[in-house]
Amino acid sequence: MAGQAPPRTIAIAGGSLAGLSAAEELRAQGFGESIIVVGREPEMPYDRPPLSKQMLKGEMAADALALACKPDMDITWRLGKSATGLDVGARTLTLDDGESLAFDGLVIATGASPRRLPFGGLAGMHVLRTRQDAEQLKADLDRQPARVVVIGGGFIGAEIAATCRALNIAVTIVEPLPGLLIRALGPMVSELVGNIHRDQGVELRTGTQAFDALADGAGRVRAIRLSDGTEIETDVVVVAVGVVPETHWLEGSGLDISDGVLCDATCLAAPGIAAAGDIARWPNTRFDECRRVEHWDNAIQQGRYAARRLLADESATTEPYTPVPWVWSDQFGLKLQVYGSTVLHDELRFVDGPTDDHKFVALYRRGGRLAGVAGIGKVRSLLGYRRMLEAGTSWDDATSATSASAQGTAQ
């Protein structure tokens, strides 16, 4: 570290997947000084993906959600405490109990929270982000309601609907766009996923917006009114309309928080300050795009990267963070996987399937390049295309490779 003292205290704001991954990597890299994690939730880090799947289905106890955390890591956990302010120049965090915490390095990992609708707040209306949210929703599902309405047809909404069907509960998804997952995966894959949901008994109300929630005399939701005037009777509603990054506490810090925390290509938001996970927006030079990635695997990889970045000499050139993002989703026992970048694609092409049992591989083109791949099943083939994404393969080369040769590159 040329002419620069190594960091002595590294603070981590946000005690979930990205924050824990950063802390673990700091220790794995031999950082022997103080690590302080400030986390708003009162409990140790736990895993969110099961909240819409195994846990909601009752296949997994809430206490099995805990993320494995090595006991000998010597981390100071400040749980149940929120960061309320950041002084970038002085390198201090302010906490909600008034404490001022000085740091040499900081990882911002405060994630995201569910987007709210302008109406709602009635009993029986839920969001799903935390363990507590999941416990409350599960308690309502355990009563075997006559119907659940899920507002929002993205990954989490689709998974909740699938879980309701597994529990033999009638469910309606209301989605203003023309199909499920359409923004992420485009119309053809959306149609396929929609058909799977319909076959499994999910009612889809696409192209229409939830407009209002109607209450019964006791203040509990009794129906959702759609923009076309129809009402769907229900006493359990889940609002799954995306997330907003948790940046309020950074207002006035001088950081660019227009959509998450804007970082450079090495995940630095300011000298000594990195961001990771759902909250971080950075230019991923592999895909020529600057966006946030709200997926489990990225929270781990970016959390680790951020830790290494803080330990590197600030003036040194560091390899930029250029992951091939990965997300999986589990609906009706089918594993949907997406590698790379599928949003804003110029073309979508099925190269395999869909088969009768819904398996397929679809490629996404942006400009002259392969930008993403989505599929159900066919994991070997997906992994082959993932390697092509890593290698920056052209669209022509990717599409002229049959799925067999895509597998071949896996060797």
- Which of 204, 299 has the CB closer to ligand FAD? 299
φ, ψ at 370 (rounded to 5°): -70, 125
- Which of 120, 377 has the CB closer to another protein? 377
Q: How far apart are CA 60 and CA 72, in angstroms?
A: 27
Stretch that binds ligand FAD, among 14-22, 25-33, 257-265, 362-370 (CB under 6 A): 14-22
**202 in contact with ligand FAD (CB under 6 A):** no
**124 in contact with another protein (CB under 8 A):** no
Q: What is the dihedral of CA 178, 179, 185, 191, to 10 degrees?
A: -120
Q: How far apart are CA 400 and CA 218, in angstroms?
A: 62
Contacting residue, 140, 159, 294, 330, with another protein by CB under 8 A: 330
**DSSP letter (8 states) at residue 5:** P
Residue 369's nearest CA partner among 403, 401, 346, 339 is 346
Q: How far apart are CA 123 and CA 114, in angstroms?
A: 17
Q: From ligand FAD, another protein, none, which one binds at residue 48 (CB under 5 to 8 Å depending on kind)? A: ligand FAD
**278 in contact with another protein (CB under 8 A):** no
**377 in contact with another protein (CB under 8 A):** yes
Tokens of residue 184, six digits: 């992420």
Q: How far apart are CA 289 and CA 271, in angstroms?
A: 22
**35 in contact with ligand FAD (CB under 6 A):** no
Q: From another protein, ligand FAD, none, which one binds at residue 39 (CB under 5 to 8 Å depending on kind)? A: ligand FAD
**300 in contact with another protein (CB under 8 A):** yes
Q: How far apart are CA 134 and CA 368, in angstroms?
A: 43
Q: From ligand FAD, another protein, none, which one binds at residue 16 (CB under 5 to 8 Å depending on kind)? A: ligand FAD
Q: How far apart are CA 279 and CA 108, in angstroms?
A: 8
Contacting residue, 44, 79, 188, 379, with another protein by CB under 8 A: 379
- Which of 18, 401 has the CB closer to ligand FAD? 18
Q: In angstroms, what CA-CA distances link 146 with 141, 196, 232? A: 10, 22, 11
**406 in contact with another protein (CB under 8 A):** no
Residues 303-342 contacting ligand FAD, CB under 6 A? 327-329
Q: From ligand FAD, another protein, none, which one binds at residue 129 (CB under 5 to 8 Å depending on kind)? A: ligand FAD
- Which of 41, 191 has the CB closer to ligand FAD? 41
Q: From ligand FAD, another protein, none, which one binds at residue 192 (CB under 5 to 8 Å depending on kind)? A: none
Question: Considering the complex, what minimum distance in angstroms separates the CB of residue 46 from ligand FAD?
Answer: 9
**298 in contact with another protein (CB under 8 A):** no
Q: In angstroms, what CA-CA distances link 181 with 56, 170, 184, 331? A: 21, 20, 5, 12
Q: What is the dihedral of CA 217, 56, 80, 35, to 10 degrees?
A: -160
Let me know how long the chain is: 411
The pairing of beta strand 243-245 with beta strand 261-262: unpaired
Q: Which residue's entry shows tokens 């959702």?
A: 224
Q: How far apart are CA 56 and CA 142, in angstroms?
A: 10
Binding residues (CB under 8 A) for another protein: these are 21, 47, 49, 68, 296-297, 300, 326, 328, 330, 335, 337, 377-380, 382-383, 386, 407, 410
Binding residues (CB under 6 A) for ligand FAD: these are 13-19, 38-41, 48-49, 51-52, 82-83, 109-112, 128-129, 156, 246, 249, 277-278, 294-297, 299, 327-329
